[in-house]
Structure 1
Amino acid sequence: MRPVLHGDVCAAARVLLNAPALGREVLCWRMIAEAEVADRHVQRTGRMHPLFGNGSLMSAARKRLLADEPGFDDPDYCLCFETVLRVLIARALSRESN
């Protein structure tokens, strides 16, 4: 997956905001997996992945319906943003241990 920037986290959180709360973490992991698949495809072929885009988390997220972006005064959006960050941290820690 390409390096994750603030916009990637925002896009993924906006996708999660449209999803049922109980499935958000699984959906987040799925978007990251799609971004990883797309990044490998781009590196191998020099072309964007037909389903998942350019290998960024934002590109994988934007293949789904994004909620309008609320402010951080919206607790549900904050939880979605936090979910994305927690999953990214877990991914980084699991890569360090391997």
Structure 2
Amino acid sequence: MSWAPGPGLWRWALAIVTLLAWSPILSVLTASALADVLGCRLNEGTPHPCLLAGQDIGGTLYGMFVMGWFGLLTFPFAIGTALAWAWLGARALWRRFQ
């Protein structure tokens, strides 16, 4: 008797890989949006002061922004997970309408 993972396990594994692959991209988008809302300067050269509720979060925003360079390594996996989720969605729709 052999053990085979169920469909739920594959979705959980894909969800974890998706989170890991997209995290650098999401980090950059979050840092950019937060800096824009707070009116702060943000670039990958140096951290700049940025106040949120009286606390300087410029270093944190800088770290989040520079983490985007990891996206060069994870971007192919991010595209792969997007295609996998699209395939799973299309397959579910196909089965529903048959």
| TM norm structure 1 | 0.33
More helix by share: 2
Q: Which protein shows a greater Rg?
A: 2
| TM norm structure 2 | 0.33
More strand by share: 2
